[in-house]
Amino acid sequence: MDLYTIGVLTNIGLLSFLALSAYVLLVAGEMSFGQQAFFGVGAYTAGIATAMFELPLLAAALAAMTLGGGAAVLVGLPTLRLRGLYFAMVTLAAAEMFRILFELLRWQRPVAGEPVGPDGTQGFRGIRWVFEQGVEPAHFLAIIYVLLALLLGVLLLVERSRLGATLRAIGEDPELAAALGADVARLKLGAAAAAGALAGLGGALYAHHNTYIEPRNFDIMLGVHSLAYALIGGLGTALGPVLGVVLDIGLLEGSRLFAGYRMIVFGGLVALILVVRPRGLLDEALVHALRRRLRRAP
């Protein structure tokens, strides 16, 4: 496999974590423009763990998930009482707060005679654990996809479970779900924590793939894209956001012949998809129909 293909597949894999993060909250009925903040928390946490304290990647990833989920709970506690546009705007504001915090974060310590650590707007360089362990790009790609497959497996199992059904019910009609005995506030907070942990894991992998991160990496564009992937791919199944990422990257690559106009062409294609399929390509109706067909198949 050539380096270009590895690069494209790596980006698809990393963006899938972010898309799944936005998807989990969408299923619970909330639209968040701020998942990039937890992606950033995960990236910085994992970078600090490996580059500054020379911990292995596994420990760094677990720390990233913990802090990503924790940050999401901190944001969710005061904001999940809001709905719709108000929640969306608050998540956007919270994400900008995190980005500014990353700009203010200056913490370096000497490692092998060099200062290593976040340096405000100059970014965080030297996240080289993966490179120094001799992990080649193709091997790191495999690590990303093994983790993604495990994650998708868990999400697909949860979707088929009582918990998954309750979350969808909350997403459709929280008052009715509460009347039927669901603890809406706690389940939404749990969904937010899970979404934050997912994004944190993606951020950890991104930081080690890139070896360098800076606050600008985690601005609103990334958040808008993560939401777009989930909406384009469809909310009927956890495979939807991954499909959204594949289509997004595929459309972007396919529109190269438009040269400088490709972002305009791409935006138009995204708008067209959402006009034709408002709940995305793999929406609930299609997934339900596919499952019925599979059950009937001999």
Report the interface residues with another protein, using CB under 8 A.
Answer: 2-4, 7-8, 11, 14-15, 112-114, 121-123, 125-126, 128, 131, 206, 210-212, 214, 216-217, 219, 221-222, 225, 249, 252-253, 256, 259-260, 262-263
Which residue's CB is nearer to another protein, number 33 or number 87?
33
- How large is the angle between the packed helices 184-210 and 162-172, nearest 10 degrees? 100
Question: In angstroms, what CA-CA distances link 165 with 36, 169, 248, 276, 279?
Answer: 27, 6, 28, 26, 18
Token duo for residue 105: 């974060």
In the complex, the smallest distance separating the C-beta of residue 255 from another protein, rounded to whole angstroms, is 10
* Residue 11 burial (CB count, 10 A): 17
In the complex, the smallest distance separating the C-beta of residue 217 from another protein, rounded to whole angstroms, is 5
**DSSP alpha helices (H): ranges in 3-83?**
3-27, 35-47, 57-79
Which residue type sits at 257?
L
Which residue's CB is nearer to another protein, number 169 or number 213?
213
Which residue's CB is nearer to another protein, number 196 or number 202?
202
In the complex, the smallest distance separating the C-beta of residue 37 from another protein, rounded to whole angstroms, is 14
Which residue's CB is nearer to another protein, number 11 or number 66?
11
The torsion defined by the Cα of 230, 232, 235 and 240, in degrees rounded to 10, comes to -80
SS3 for 165? helix
In the complex, the smallest distance separating the C-beta of residue 163 from another protein, rounded to whole angstroms, is 31
- What sign has the CA pseudo-torsion 156, 226, 116, 108? negative
Instruction: Give me the phi and psi of 119, to 5 degrees please.
Output: -130, 55
Which residue's CB is nearer to another protein, number 114 or number 172?
114
In the complex, the smallest distance separating the C-beta of residue 156 from another protein, rounded to whole angstroms, is 24
In the complex, the smallest distance separating the C-beta of residue 257 from another protein, rounded to whole angstroms, is 12
* Cα–Cα distance for residue pair 121/239, rounded to 1 Å: 36
In the complex, the smallest distance separating the C-beta of residue 125 from another protein, rounded to whole angstroms, is 5
Which residue type sits at 11?
N
In the complex, the smallest distance separating the C-beta of residue 38 from another protein, rounded to whole angstroms, is 15
Bridge partners of 125?
117, 212
Per the listing, tokens 């270009």 go with 4
**Number of H-type helices and E-type strands within the chain:** 13, 4
Cβ-contact 234, 280 below 8 angstroms = yes
Which residue's CB is nearer to another protein, number 54 or number 114?
114
Which residue's CB is nearer to another protein, number 82 or number 265?
265
Q: Please tell me what DSSP assigns to residue 257.
A: G
Which residue's CB is nearer to another protein, number 118 or number 171?
118
